Structure 1
Amino acid sequence: MLLAIDAGNTNVVFALVDGGAIKARWRIATDPRRTADEYAVWLHQLLELEGRSKSDVEAVIIATVVPRALHNLEVLSSKYFHVEPMIAGQGNAAWPIALDVDEPHAVGADRVLNAMAVHAKHKGDLIVIDFGTATTFDVVDSSGAYKGGIIAPGINLSLDALVNAAAKLPRIAIEAPKGNLSVIGRTTESQMIIGIYWGYVAMIEGLTDRLKRELGRPATVIATGGLAILFDKHTNVFDAIEPDLTIQGLSLLHAMAIQKAK
């Protein structure tokens, strides 16, 4: 069984993958100071809750956009699972798709993995919107090449900046408006929800429209990330939601690397 690890800016996601199917997934807050021993204790308990053990893990693949987190994850793999991990984008796990941008070395691993996974599941030109710490828009052409995209502040970052900069504004939960969908708020909290939620919907729709117009041909829009479902309630911009694209990309990359090594 494969242990796929996606270390993002906010969370590290661990997933058990068997034959391309995700059997279990867990997440923990990203902290570059977290040691391999701490990861191991936490994972051991979660594996037991799933009726599994560390001996079920036969291979490990790691992707990270937090370079300082990589070392301890490599130690976790070698010390506790007794396997040398593959690192996404390196060695046999080098990127198998074209990165047709001016700075290919600067493209985040998660964005390349999303591009790989979405091209394997959908045909034609594609736009991937990933709701993470940042909200990213990625363009993948019909050949599977990564063509570039957009980086915008994530919705939680936007809300935190608003609350931290304005002393009298309360901290609110991000949620879709319920019932009355008026965009004229009558309380401070309702005005904040309208500004954050509908402002984000407008950004998603506006940037997606601009991307499609620049492409000049039809494109399928795929959403991923935890907040995709939240926005899907009030926009028709998404053609599909794929919540596990990055993990699926890691699984696909691992399979291709194994094939390459034979």
Structure 2
Amino acid sequence: MLLTIDAGNTNTVFALIDGDEIAEQWRISTADQRTVEEYMVWISNLMALHGRDISVITGAIIASVVPQVVWPLSQLCKKYFNCEPIVVGADGVKLGVDVRVDNPKEVGADRLVNAVAADAIYGGPMAVVDFGTATTFDIVGNDGAYLGGIICPGINLSLSALNQAAAKLPRIAISAPEDTRVTGKTTLEAMQYGIFWGYVSMIEGLVKRLKDEHGQNMKVLATGGLAPIFADHTDAIDHVSGELTLLGLKLIFERNQ
């Protein structure tokens, strides 16, 4: 069974993949001070709760945008799961696609993994919109090559900035409006509509510009926890995949065997 680890800026997702099936999936907050033993206690307890013995893990792959967590996660795989993990972005690790940007080492591992999965599942040309700590738009070319993209502040970052910088504005959670109104009658409504419809407009505007630049036949795929909410309120998104990064990690692991 394959262990995939996707370490983002906010959360780290551990998943067990059995063949083509994602058998288990667990999430923990990303912390650069967490030790190997802390990771092991956490994941071994979860595996035991789900009737999984650690001996079922026969391979591992890691994608991380937080450099400080790569070492303890790698040691977790080596010390407790008896396997040498593949680390996306490390020398010699094959993606199976070209990375056509000025400095490939700069590109976040998650963005490359998403591009690999998007090309394999849907084929290019495609824009992948990932609603994470940052909202990113990544371009997959006709031949599957990664062509670059756009990085924008994430939705929760924007909400935090409003709350911290404006004394009278409360901290709110993102939610889809019940109708198509954009004029708020209260401060709470004004904030909710501004964030939600503001991001919808950003998605639609940037997708239009990307299509103008890369071709009108470009498909748009959304991933990340908030992807379904936004996909239901705009025609700019063609497909939604909540497990795109995990599928991309599985593909990269297979390509390096």
TM-score range, shorter chain: over 0.9
Write the letter of the residue equivalent to 1:183. V
The 8 Å contact of residues 125 and 218 in structure 2, kept in 1 or not, is answered as yes
Partner of 1:118: 118
Partner of 1:225: 224
Distance in 2 of aligned mates of 1:42 and 1:61? 18
Deviation at 1:190, TM superposition (A): 0.4
Distance in 2 of aligned mates of 1:167 and 1:217? 44
The 8 Å contact of residues 176 and 233 in structure 1, kept in 2 or not, is answered as no
Write the letter of the residue equivalent to 1:235. T
Distance in 2 of aligned mates of 1:134 and 1:3? 25
Query: Structure 2: which 5+ residue stretches go unaligned?
Result: none
Q: What is the number of equivalent residue pairs in this alignment?
A: 257
Write the letter of the residue equivalent to 1:67. P
Distance in 2 of aligned mates of 1:250 and 1:193? 35
Distance in 2 of aligned mates of 1:77 and 1:47? 15
Write the letter of the residue equivalent to 1:106. E
**Mean CA deviation greater in 213-222 or 160-169:** 213-222
Distance in 1 of aligned mates of 2:70 and 2:255? 22
Partner of 1:30: 30
Distance in 1 of aligned mates of 2:30 and 2:228? 23
> 1:193-212 to 2 correspondence within 5 Å?
193-212=192-211
CA-based RMSD of the aligned residues comes to: 1.1
The 8 Å contact of residues 60 and 86 in structure 2, kept in 1 or not, is answered as yes
Runs of 4+ in 1 over 4 A off after TM superposition: none
The 8 Å contact of residues 129 and 223 in structure 1, kept in 2 or not, is answered as yes
Matched position secondary structure for 1:218: coil
Matched position secondary structure for 1:238: coil
Q: Deviations 1:89-142 (Å, cap 9, x if unpaired)?
A: 225523321111112110111111101001001133111000000000011011
Matched position secondary structure for 1:171: coil
Matched position secondary structure for 2:12: strand
Write the letter of the residue equivalent to 1:53. D
Distance in 2 of aligned mates of 1:7 and 1:104? 19
The 8 Å contact of residues 92 and 257 in structure 1, kept in 2 or not, is answered as no
Identity, in percent, stands at 53
Distance in 2 of aligned mates of 1:239 and 1:233? 10
> Is residue 184 of structure 1 aligned with residue 175 of structure 2?
no
> 1:1-262 to 2 correspondence within 5 Å?
1-178=1-178, 180-258=179-257
Matched position secondary structure for 1:22: strand
Distance in 1 of aligned mates of 2:33 and 2:202? 35
Distance in 1 of aligned mates of 2:46 and 2:235? 37
Deviation at 1:237, TM superposition (A): 1.2
Distance in 1 of aligned mates of 2:73 and 2:122? 32
Q: Deviations 1:23-74 (Å, cap 9, x if unpaired)?
A: 1111100001011111111101111222111111111111111000111101
Distance in 2 of aligned mates of 1:97 and 1:110? 14
The 8 Å contact of residues 95 and 116 in structure 2, kept in 1 or not, is answered as no
TM (norm. structure 1) is: 0.95
Q: Deviations 1:228-251 (Å, cap 9, x if unpaired)?
A: 011122111111101111111110
Distance in 2 of aligned mates of 1:212 and 1:168? 39
TM (norm. structure 2) is: 0.97
